[in-house]
Amino acid sequence: METNDFIHILTEKGLKITPQRLAVLDALRRLHNHPTPDQVCRMVKSSHPHIAIGTVYKTLETFVEKGILKKVKTDGDVMRYDDVPHCHHHLYCADSQRIEDYFDDELNALLDDYFKRKQIPNFNVDEVRLHINGRFVGE
C-alpha cells in the first residue's frame, strides 16, 4: 500500500489524516502478519522517534473502533492486530506464536449455514472467525 491508499482508508472511515496515523498504517503494512502492539511501536519509533508510545496505542485502538483493524488474542493472552478486512480464519502455532491467515470459502459457507439453522436464542451472530490451534510442520 502507498500513502494514497492510507489517506483513502482514513478518509473513508471519517478520520483526520495525521502523520501519526500514517506512520502506524505504514508500520502495519511493513510488519503485516498480526503484529503485537509493541512490534508496531518499535517499527513506528524506528522511523518516527518523536511519536509517543501512548499515541501509537491510542491510534491502534481508534483503528479497531473504526473497523480498520481487528484484535486477535493468542493462547498466551498476547494481543495482536489483523489488518485483513476479508472474512478469514487464523492458524495459530503455540510453539512459534506465529499466526497465519486461513481463507476457505467452503468453510465460511458451512459456518454461515450452521449458525443460520442453529438460531442461538437471544443472540445475533455478526461474524464467525475460527482460531485454529496447531503446529506448522517444519518449524
Per-residue pLDDT tens for 6-42?
A: 898 899 999 999 999 999 999 998 997 899 999 999 9
Task: State in words which class domain 89-134 has.
Answer: alpha beta
What per-residue confidence (pLDDT) applies to 95? 84
39 closest CA partner among 67, 78, 92: 78
List strand residue ranges (DSSP E) for 41-130, in order: 70-73, 79-82, 89-93, 98-102
Residue closest to 88 by CA, chosen among 122, 130, 31, 120: 130
**Binding-site residues from annotation:** 93
Predicted pLDDT of residue 139? 65
Q: Does residue 137 surpass a pLDDT of 80?
A: yes
pTM across the whole model: 0.79
Q: Which CATH number applies to 3-82?
A: 1.10.10.10
Give the residue range(s) of CATH 1.10.10.10 domains in the chain: 3-82
Which residue has better confidence, 65 or 73? 65
Residues making up the binding site for Zn(2+): 93
Task: Give pLDDT tens digits for 45-72.
Answer: 999 999 999 999 999 999 999 999 998 8
Backbone phi, psi, residue 93, to 5°: -105, 115
At 1 the pLDDT is 61
| Euclidean distance between CA atoms 11 and 98, whole angstroms | 32
* pLDDT tens-place string over residues 74-123: 777 778 899 887 889 999 888 888 888 899 999 999 999 999 998 899 99
Indicate where the chain has its CATH 3.30.1490 domain(s): 89-134
Cell numbers representing residue 9 in the block: 482508508
